[in-house]
């Protein structure tokens, strides 16, 4: 049906979107234009009113754009509010409007073209004409129209304007000048990489004011930077006082979180777990003691009632949050929060393959399971399970089905009949945590109502803005940006829980500490911002020059050694030089008129010209510009003026030079600066010798040798008769001298490997490097680590001598290894220099590290040999031992055995003995290769893990049990869960082969195994399995039968690869450091390994054992409730079917896996809690713990006979704290 511009309501209903925003007013206005072609370039309609504002239409009849067709352009203009006199916009006022402009035929309102738009109009709004339609579409029939819109050069333009109610004040705001603190009183948390998932929950906790007060009560005056409580207090205080978004880097660092892979939103609950583990204990003894439990802890009851026998069991537990399904068990959306809660407490019938275990007397029974809440906490956290693992795609997937939630929630329908349902049943929505995107990434935000009397606010990564109630409820209906956590607060306690925080609630130490840190950070920031306005000056004095060991007057920029410690001042560039000089004099204890400053000219760092003081306006910037090549640093030499020298008149035509002198002490191997001297440029160098001997208080007949220090690698001997001009010396140049020795004295000094002249010593300085030496093997004490300053030009032999002196060991037997990331890497070559050795080490290391080891013969003698390390496992009463020796690379393993026999009396046998030595490799709990005597040593790569034991070719009747049991100590025992079955089997069969002389003894046909050999098998299996498996092995009729039972359990589907993966999963699970560490931080690694498991060909319906293990690897297998589930799987899998289907497995797992991250007890009676004595294929508690539990259970059972028990047994298990429901 055609719509006409003459019917405003119908027209607007078709062409304007209804956003659900209240409409303040609606108006329409038509403007008829005649002689369209004669209209000027821009024309405006008369004013019309709508919503207390004046409006007009602006038209560009024929805008010509180069390369495009002529177009008509339009714009709706807001002229301002309706007032008497000149129109003026009130300060900060605005109006939000939605409109449609239609250009129509003057005689037919159904022939039109329309454009819709919206805008937030302000006084400073600047909008241009926007393209409306090409002129050709207006002047000729187009589309379904049989007539042109502009007819007879006439046309009508109609404006349909909706003025909308801006409920929040930010409708269509561009937020260009938005100040969250000013407008809302709050700031947000900055996005911190992948840990941004904690921000919404942290904002919610911050605005749970009772919790914030309790956190402030924790004493943290003396806590370090790794304190979680201090980090939370810091963020809370900054959120409360800062006007800018707050960073969470210190908090995430203290929690051990990293900003790496995207984290699923359900990791927010793991953050809540961390707080649950850490904060309550730190609140003990404070006014906040018990606040965590009071605010967040509730109680619920699980009840199991059998339908066919008189048996009922109940259990009470504590929870800190509730996990609610978004879909029901059939996969259909639950749609509302009330239905999700109802589904949680709806009784569940347990029958068929999902029967309930009612103790040893009744066994598996049909039962009704009921869950009900006894008490909800004042602050209720509801996790919506929007994320699940998809087995087919090996990914987390997000459930975007709607789940509507109310502002007010009555929880009475979900309370147990015994609970009070009057006072504490009503709750109000406090926070909605939202996730936008998919399970692999997205954005996080929070909608929070800080107080019942205040507006809802939205917190995202950038700002805080007010939102409407409609926006809050969209989190339950939006298909992508939806709620994953809801927080409700009990109405009756909301006033107390959300009461404002007073200044007195903030710890004074926290405020002063953070204010101090802010001042320090502000000072650093200001210093950095003003760096271009200042200079850093370093002052070389006579004292620092005397202590300097190196080139020039001081060390400034040498990457191999640290810079000299010099007095340093920061000065403004525009400061007067004379003022700066006075400051330097005052700081260093001089009178300004008695010092002179010389800039050290770059790049030589020599003082060439003193600063002239005849210009009182000279600035530091000018001094630096003339002498420091534009650098931000200015290095100066401070000369203490000698009055006697300054009073001497300069001779015409002869210039004086300031020359520095250094003394090279051969005995101490040091350089000492003795100061500076003034010489005449045409003086001979020999004339400086008497001045030096006088300064040094040497005898007049002491002979000195002079050298000029030109630069690194350029040290030249000075001829005495050469003048300073001939040497090309300038102010600031350096003469180095030493006492001249006779040839005999030099020979004697040379014996001590000393540098005998400044040339060689300066060469050492140019090549010196600090090297840390560490022992190569762990058995050497860590205290034997040491540092040596060595020259990079040292040969291997020279370096070995220096290290040998330090260790007081023969340097010929020292071998060195370079490093990679702090660990030994490769044995270094003896042909290179120290520079070659450290260059091959770890380039990323801040230290030069070499590892050393002391060999038992000189390195020169081991060129064609290899070192062999053998662990002797012994036999009978012989002791174990470890032997190392060198043997030619061309040797055979028979030669190795002979060498071992020479090294150990334990490995020697009588000539007629049929005993022999067995050599094999052993690594990571399993035997690798069993060597024959013909194997060549050159073919063996692993000489660090060689083992030897006594072997023979006899049958099992002559089997040595002592030797075999000693071998078994190197074998990792078979776990009760069977995850290390493959490793255990290979190791055990290898040892059996050595003990009996028969290979593949376990897998050989039964008729070739003697009774004695069978006994050996049984004894070895019993000695090498977990204690939980020992009874089943001992009860077996034979060793072969025991092994067959184990093989049936753990290898029935050839799961070698999958079991290996499961072992990795288990190892990843138990990498957590202590009982307070949450499993969430390891979930990503476990998930990746699980994906590898499924890609290996694993199918859940056929491999139910591994499937169950995948689920159970997340919590601890040796804790309840999973031991019960293991036992049920064991009993069911031992039935006629033998295999549990996928559906059965999931159904069984759901009974217990509600306690996914909390290792809490199962929902069952005391009789069910105790693990059974025999092993389950999916893992049990260790046998020692199980036996103790069984003994306690048996004692209780014996104390109460069946006649004494009541006919109807109804037991309530003592409650135990849980973290979630």
Q: What does the H/E/C string look like for 20-78?
A: CCCEEEEEEEEEEECCHHHCCCCEECCCEEECCEEEEEEEEEEECCCCCCCEEEEEEEE
Residues 977 and 901: beta-carbon distance below 8 Å: no
Structure tokens given for 810: 């023969």
196 plus 139 within the same structural domain: no
Nearest to 998 by CA among 1031, 956, 1034: 956
Q: What is the three-class DSSP state of 855? A: coil
Q: What is residue 792's predicted lDDT score, i.e. its pLDDT?
A: 87
711 plus 805 within the same structural domain: no
**The total number of residues written for the chain in this structure:** 1221
Quote helix, strand, coil % in the chain, to nearest 5. 35, 30, 40
The set of residues, in sequence order, having a beta carbon less than 8 Å from that of 320 and lying 6+ positions away, is 272, 276, 296, 297, 298, 377, 381, 1218, 1219, 1220
Q: What is residue 193's predicted lDDT score, i.e. its pLDDT?
A: 63
In a domain, 506, yes or no: no
Q: What is residue 608's predicted lDDT score, i.e. its pLDDT?
A: 92
1085 plus 1201 within the same structural domain: yes
In a domain, 715, yes or no: yes
Nearest to 628 by CA among 538, 725, 502, 503: 538
Q: What is residue 331's predicted lDDT score, i.e. its pLDDT?
A: 81
781 plus 869 within the same structural domain: no
Residues 1162 and 1124: beta-carbon distance below 8 Å: yes
Structure tokens given for 512: 């002063």
Phi, psi of 154 (to 5 degrees): -125, 150
774 plus 751 within the same structural domain: no
In a domain, 724, yes or no: yes
Residues 475 and 481: beta-carbon distance below 8 Å: yes
ω into 603 cis (within 30 of 0): yes
In a domain, 1196, yes or no: yes
355 plus 371 within the same structural domain: yes
Beta bridge partners, 324, equal: 384
Residues 588 and 557: beta-carbon distance below 8 Å: no
Phi, psi of 893 (to 5 degrees): -65, -25
- Of 1002, 1024, 1049, the last residue of a domain is 1049
Label residue 713 left, alpha or beta by phi (over 0 means left) and psi (-120 to 50 means alpha): left
d(CA 802, CA 754): 12
316 plus 447 within the same structural domain: yes
Residues 821 and 845: beta-carbon distance below 8 Å: yes
- Of 707, 725, 756, the last residue of a domain is 756
1084 plus 1021 within the same structural domain: no
Structure tokens given for 726: 């001939």
What's 1012-1038 look like in SS3?
HHHHHHHHHHHHCECHHHHHHHHHCCC
In a domain, 646, yes or no: no
Q: What is residue 1024's predicted lDDT score, i.e. its pLDDT?
A: 84
> What is the tally of structural domains in the chain?
8
Phi, psi of 857 (to 5 degrees): -155, 160
Structure tokens given for 863: 């060129």
Condensed to tens digits (0 to 9), the pLDDT of residues 558-580 reads 766 778 899 999 999 999 999 99
In a domain, 860, yes or no: no
- Of 731, 756, 781, the last residue of a domain is 756
d(CA 898, CA 885): 12
Between CA 496 and CA 503, with CA 497 as vertex, the angle to 5 degrees is 85
The pTM for the full model equals: 0.56
Average pLDDT of adjacent 10-residue blocks, the chain of 1221 residues: 89 91 94 92 92 91 62 90 78 90 94 93 77 89 87 94 92 88 92 74 94 93 86 92 87 66 53 81 90 92 91 87 88 91 91 77 86 93 82 70 94 84 83 86 89 92 91 82 93 93 87 86 83 89 92 83 88 93 94 93 87 90 74 87 78 84 92 92 92 90 93 88 93 94 85 86 86 79 78 90 91 89 81 81 63 85 78 55 79 82 66 65 60 74 70 45 62 73 77 67 62 75 80 77 77 49 55 44 54 51 44 44 53 49 54 43 33 31 32 37 36 39 49
Q: What is residue 831's predicted lDDT score, i.e. its pLDDT?
A: 84
Residues 1116 and 1074: beta-carbon distance below 8 Å: no
In a domain, 269, yes or no: yes
Query: What CATH number does the domain containing 51 carry?
Result: 2.60.210.10
1019 plus 997 within the same structural domain: yes
Range of the domain at 217: 180-292
Residues 755 and 681: beta-carbon distance below 8 Å: no
d(CA 773, CA 236): 47
In a domain, 509, yes or no: no
Which residue, chain included where needed, has tokens 């001779």?
651
972 plus 940 within the same structural domain: yes
980 plus 1065 within the same structural domain: no
The two beta strands, 130-134 and 155-164, are unpaired
644: burial class by Cβ within 10 Å (0-12, 13-18, 19+)?
A: exposed
Query: What CATH number does the domain containing 877 carry?
Result: 3.10.20.90
Query: What CATH number does the domain containing 455 carry?
Result: 3.90.70.10
98 plus 74 within the same structural domain: yes
Task: Find the largest Cα–Cα distance for the chain.
Answer: 132
């Amino acid at each position: 049906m055609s719509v006409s511009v003459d019917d405003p309501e119908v027209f607007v209903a078709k062409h304007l979107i209804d956003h659900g925003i209240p409409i303040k007013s609606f108006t329409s206005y038509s403007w008829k234009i005649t002689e369209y072609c004669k209209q000027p370039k821009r024309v405006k309609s008369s004013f019309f009113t709508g919503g207390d504002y004046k409006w007009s239409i602006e038209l560009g009849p024929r805008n010509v754009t180069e390369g495009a067709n002529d177009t008509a352009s339009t714009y709706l203009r807001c002229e301002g509010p309706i007032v008497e006199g000149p129109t003026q916009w009130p300060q900060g006022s605005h109006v939000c409007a939605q409109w449609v402009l239609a250009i129509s035929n003057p005689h037919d309102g159904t022939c039109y073209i329309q454009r819709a738009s919206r805008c937030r109009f302000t006084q400073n709004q600047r909008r241009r004409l926007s393209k409306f339609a090409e002129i050709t579409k207006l002047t000729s029939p187009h589309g379904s129209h049989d007539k042109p819109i502009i007819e007879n050069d006439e046309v009508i333009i109609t404006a349909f304007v909706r003025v909308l109610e801006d409920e929040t004040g930010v409708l269509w705001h561009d937020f260009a000048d938005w100040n969250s603190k000013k407008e809302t009183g709050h700031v947000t948390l900055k996005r911190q990489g992948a840990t941004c998932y904690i921000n919404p929950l942290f904002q919610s906790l911050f605005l749970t004011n009772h919790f914030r007060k309790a956190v402030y009560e924790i004493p943290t005056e003396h806590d370090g930077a790794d304190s979680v409580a201090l980090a939370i207090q810091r963020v809370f205080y900054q959120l409360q006082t800062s006007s800018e978004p707050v960073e969470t880097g210190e908090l995430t660092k203290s929690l051990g979180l990293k900003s790496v892979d995207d984290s699923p939103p359900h990791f927010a609950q793991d953050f809540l777990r961390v707080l649950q583990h850490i904060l309550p204990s730190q609140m003990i003894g404070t006014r906040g003691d018990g606040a965590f439990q009071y605010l967040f802890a509730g109680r619920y009851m699980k009840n199991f009632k059998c339908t066919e026998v008189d048996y009922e069991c109940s259990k009470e537990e504590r929870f800190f949050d509730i996990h609610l399904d978004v879909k029901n068990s059939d996969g259909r959306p639950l749609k509302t929060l009330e239905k999700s809660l109802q589904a949680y407490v709806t009784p569940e019938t347990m029958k068929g393959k999902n029967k309930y275990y009612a103790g040893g007397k009744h066994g598996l029974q049909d039962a009704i399971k009921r869950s009900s809440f006894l008490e909800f906490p004042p602050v209720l956290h509801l996790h919506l399970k929007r994320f699940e693992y998809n087995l087919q795609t090996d990914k987390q997937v997000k459930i975007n089905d709607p789940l509507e939630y109310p502002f007010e929630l009555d929880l009475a329908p979900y309370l147990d009949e015994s609970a009070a349902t009057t006072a504490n049943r009503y709750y109000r929505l406090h926070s909605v945590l939202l996730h936008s995107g998919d399970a692999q990434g997205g954005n996080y935000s929070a909608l929070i109502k800080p107080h019942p009397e205040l507006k809802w606010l939205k917190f995202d990564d950038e700002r805080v803005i007010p939102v409407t109630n409609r926006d809050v409820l969209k989190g339950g209906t939006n298909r992508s940006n939806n709620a994953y956590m809801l927080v409700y607060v009990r109405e009756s306690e909301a006033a107390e829980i959300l009461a404002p925080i007073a200044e007195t609630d903030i710890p004074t130490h926290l405020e002063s500490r953070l204010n101090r840190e802010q001042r320090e950070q502000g000072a650093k920031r200001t210093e950095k911002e003003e760096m271009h306005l200042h200079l850093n000056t370093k002052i070389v004095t006579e004292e620092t020059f005397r202590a300097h060991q190196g080139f020039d007057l001081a060390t400034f920029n040498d990457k191999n050694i640290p810079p000299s410690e010099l007095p340093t001042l920061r000065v403004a560039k525009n400061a007067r030089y004379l003022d700066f000089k006075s400051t330097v004099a005052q700081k260093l204890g001089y009178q300004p008129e008695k010092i002179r400053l010389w800039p050290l000219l770059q790049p030589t760092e020599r003082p060439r010209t003193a600063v002239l003081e005849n210009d009182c306006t000279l600035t530091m910037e000018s001094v630096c510009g003339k002498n420091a090549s534009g650098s931000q640093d200015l290095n100066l030499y401070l000369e203490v003026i000698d009055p006697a020298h300054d009073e001497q008149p300069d001779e015409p035509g002869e210039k004086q030079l300031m020359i520095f002198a250094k003394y090279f002490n051969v005995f101490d191997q040091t350089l000492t600066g003795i100061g500076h001297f003034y010489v005449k440029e045409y003086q001979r160098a020999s004339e400086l010798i008497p001045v030096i001997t006088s300064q040094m208080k040497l005898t007049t007949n002491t002979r000195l040798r002079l050298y000029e220090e030109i630069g690194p690698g350029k040290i030249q001997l000075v001829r005495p008769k050469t003048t300073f001009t001939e040497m090309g010396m300038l102010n600031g140049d350096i003469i180095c001298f030493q006492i001249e020795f006779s040839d005999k004295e030099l020979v004697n000094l040379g014996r001590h490997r000393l540098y005998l002249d400044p040339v060689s010593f300066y060469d050492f300085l140019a090549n010196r490097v600090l090297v840390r030496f560490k022992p190569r093997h762990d058995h050497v004490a860590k205290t034997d680590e040491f540092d040596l300053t060595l020259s990079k030009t040292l040969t291997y032999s020279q370096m070995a001598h220096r290290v040998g002196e330090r260790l007081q060991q023969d340097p010929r037997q020292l071998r060195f290894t370079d490093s990679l990331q702090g660990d030994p890497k490769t044995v270094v070559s003896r042909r290179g220099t120290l520079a070659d050795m450290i260059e091959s080490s770890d380039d990323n290391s801040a230290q030069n590290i070499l590892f050393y080891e002391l060999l038992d013969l000189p390195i020169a003698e081991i060129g064609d040999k290899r070192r062999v390390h053998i662990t002797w496992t012994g036999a009978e009463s012989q002791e174990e031992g470890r032997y190392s020796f060198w043997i030619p690379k061309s040797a055979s393993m028979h030669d190795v055995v002979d060498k071992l026999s020479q090294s150990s009396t334990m490995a020697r046998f009588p000539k007629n003995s049929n005993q022999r030595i067995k050599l094999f490799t052993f690594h990571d709990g399993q035997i690798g290769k069993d060597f024959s005597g013909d194997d060549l040593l050159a073919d063996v790569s692993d000489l660090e893990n060689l083992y030897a034991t006594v072997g023979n070719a006899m049958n099992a009747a002559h089997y040595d049990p002592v030797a075999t049991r000693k071998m078994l100590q190197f074998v990792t025992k078979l776990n009760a869960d069977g995850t290390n079955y493959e490793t255990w089997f290979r190791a055990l069969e290898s040892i059996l082969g050595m003990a009996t002389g028969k290979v593949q003894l376990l897998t050989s046909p039964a008729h070739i195994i003697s009774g004695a050999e069978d006994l050996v098998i049984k004894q070895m299996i019993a000695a090498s399995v977990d204690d939980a498996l020992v009874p089943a092995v001992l009860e077996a009729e034979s060793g072969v039968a025991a092994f067959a039972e184990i093989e049936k359990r753990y290898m029935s589907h050839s799961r070698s690869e999958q079991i290996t993966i499961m072992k990795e999963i288990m190892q990843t699970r138990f990498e957590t450091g202590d009982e307070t560490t949450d499993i969430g931080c390891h979930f990503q690694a476990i998930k990746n390994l699980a994906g590898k498991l499924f890609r290996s060909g694993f199918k859940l319906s056929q491999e139910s054992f591994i499937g169950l293990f995948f689920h159970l690897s997340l919590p601890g297998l040796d804790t309840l409730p999973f031991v019960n589930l293991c036992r049920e799987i064991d009993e069911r899998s031992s039935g006629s079917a033998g295999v549990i289907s996928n559906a059965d497995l999931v159904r069984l797992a759901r009974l217990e896996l509600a306690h996914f991250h909390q290792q809490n007890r199962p929902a069952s009676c005391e009789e069910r809690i105790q693990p059974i004595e025999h092993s389950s294929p999916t893992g049990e508690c260790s046998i020692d713990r199980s036996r103790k539990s069984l003994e306690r259970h048996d004692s209780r059972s014996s104390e109460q006979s069946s006649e004494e028990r009541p006919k109807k047994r109804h037991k309530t298990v003592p409650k135990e704290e849980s973290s979630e429901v």
